[in-house]
Amino acid sequence: MILDNKRTIALAFSGGGTPHFTLSTCGSPAVRGTRFVILCFLLIALPLLAGCGGMDVPLSDSRFNAPTSKLEVVRTLVSQRDRRPAVFQEKNLAYLELRGFNLSGVTFSKAYMAGIDLREAKLIRANLEGADLTGANLAGADLRSANLRGANLTGADLTGADLDDADLTGAVLQNTNFNRALVRRITLKDAVLYEAKFVNVYLGETNLGGLDLREVDFRGSDLSNVVLRGSNLEATDLEGIKFQQADLQEVNLRRANLEWANFSQAHMQGADLTSADLSNADLRGANLYLAKLPETDMREVRLRGANISDADFTGADLRKANLFAVTALRSGFAWGNLRGAVLSKGDFSGSTFKDAKLREVKLLRATLKGVSLMAADLRDADLRGADFLDADIRGANFLDANLGGAKNLFRAKGLEKARNLSDVNW
């Protein structure tokens, strides 16, 4: 760099790219001061510039590779004389139209395939690991047993595609459309499913355990036999969804809409359904051991034959619910509303109904051993044949209740403090 005819700065780079410079010392004191400032600047700036020259640039990103034409794809496919699957690893195939192509077994790992048209294409056992399929059209494609581990399918359309046994471990499925697709036994471990759509889909035998499914659209789908253990479905709309025999242990369904959902024979041990809407839901034969159901809306719910032992129904609305022959050992119904519910032949040993509304409830031949009925409202209740051994009935209101054939009532605790027992039908 030439400052004037007497003052120069010489710059040079060694083989390793490190800059060197020399500064002449001639000139007046003022000039020498200026040179000193320039020297300080260069001492600071040049090492930074040298460092930038040594930074690694991800040149292997397939987005920056030269685009591959449709003709090149065809030539590659037909040139495989030894019948070995073609390889398009890290190729740029974005926006190609390959509709209906037979690409079974072909390798597309880490390829850039954004916007590609693969409608009705055959991709059986294809290797798409790490591929970028953002916005791709895969409607009707055959992806059975395909490897889609770590693939980016954001906004992709898989309507009607066959993904049975496909591996989508760690895949990005944000806003991906799986409507009417076949997705049996697919692997979705660690997948991102934000706003994914599984409308009118049968997900039988699929493992969705431990996933965040809060914004997934499951409308009209069948999740029978699905594994959802430990998944997060908080506040999700699941109205009318089938969960028959599904594994829902420790699932988070807080504040979820589960109206008319079918949970018959489902495994729901430890599930959290706090404040969920379960009105008219079918829970016949379900296992709700240790489940959390406080403040739930369970009007007209069907729980016939279910195991609800150690479950928490505190403050739940169970009006006209059917709890016929349930097993409810040590369960909590305090402050719940069970008006008109059917609890006949149920075993409620050790449970609490403190301050519960039990008006017009049917408890025919129910086991109420050790039950707390403190201050419970049992007006017009049908308690014929119920067993009150060691039950706590202090403050309970039995006005117009039917206690015909009741067992061990005189061995109940607080008999003298119960209300309106003299008016009951014995």
The whole-angstrom separation of Cα 74 and Cα 250 is 51
- Residue 148 maps to a domain: yes
Domain co-membership, 157 together with 135: yes
| DSSP 8-state secondary structure symbol assigned to residue 40 | H
**Residue where one domain finishes, among candidates 163, 197, 212:** 163
- Residue 159 maps to a domain: yes
- Residue 108 maps to a domain: yes
The whole-angstrom separation of Cα 375 and Cα 26 is 104
Mean pLDDT of 37-53: 48
Domain co-membership, 68 together with 151: yes
What pLDDT score does 17 carry? 45
Q: Please state, for a pLDDT cut of 70, what percent of the chain lies above it.
A: 85
**For residue 38, what are the domain limits?**
9-53
The whole-angstrom separation of Cα 187 and Cα 151 is 13
- Residue 309 maps to a domain: no
Asked if residue 128 has pLDDT above 60, the reply is yes
- Residue 143 maps to a domain: yes
What pLDDT score does 278 carry? 98
- Residue 350 maps to a domain: no
Domain co-membership, 133 together with 158: yes
Phi, psi of 49 (to 5 degrees): -65, -40
- Which contacts (CB < 8 Å, 24+ apart) does range 5-12 have? 7/31, 7/35, 9/38, 9/42
pLDDT digits (tens, 9 = 90+) for 68-112: 999 999 999 988 766 788 999 999 999 999 999 999 999 999 999
Distances (CA, A) of 230 to 151, 178, 250, 272, 305: 24, 23, 5, 10, 25
The whole-angstrom separation of Cα 30 and Cα 36 is 10
Nearest to 287 by CA among 312, 270, 262: 270
Domain co-membership, 150 together with 110: yes
What is the number of structural domains in the chain? 2
The whole-angstrom separation of Cα 85 and Cα 311 is 56
DSSP-assigned beta bridge partners for residue 50? none
Q: For residues 35 and 10, is the Cβ–Cβ distance under 8 A?
A: no
What pLDDT score does 426 carry? 57
Count of other CB atoms within 10 angstroms of residue 66: 7
The whole-angstrom separation of Cα 270 and Cα 286 is 12
**Residue where one domain finishes, among candidates 107, 128, 163:** 163
Distances (CA, A) of 149 to 61, 133, 146, 190: 17, 12, 9, 10
CATH code at position 109: 2.160.20.80
| DSSP 8-state secondary structure symbol assigned to residue 415 | G
Query: Which amino acid would we find at residue 13?
Result: F
- Residue 119 maps to a domain: yes
Domain co-membership, 40 together with 69: no
Domain co-membership, 90 together with 153: yes
Tokens found for residue 43: 């001492």
- Residue 76 maps to a domain: yes
The whole-angstrom separation of Cα 36 and Cα 41 is 9
Residue 41 or residue 206, greater confidence = 206
List CB contacts of 170: < 8 A, sequence separation 6 or more.
149, 150, 189, 190, 191
- Positive/negative CA dihedral, 212, 190, 163, 112: positive
Q: Please state, for a pLDDT cut of 90, what percent of the chain lies above it.
A: 80
To which residue do tokens 């600047």 refer? Answer: 41
Count of other CB atoms within 10 angstroms of residue 285: 18
> How long a stretch of residues is the chain?
426
The whole-angstrom separation of Cα 329 and Cα 326 is 9
Q: How confident is the model at residue 19 (pLDDT cuts 50, 70, 90)?
A: very low
Domain co-membership, 42 together with 69: no
- pTM for the full model? 0.81
Domain co-membership, 49 together with 94: no
**Residue where one domain finishes, among candidates 131, 163, 195:** 163
Domain co-membership, 67 together with 49: no
Domain co-membership, 93 together with 159: yes
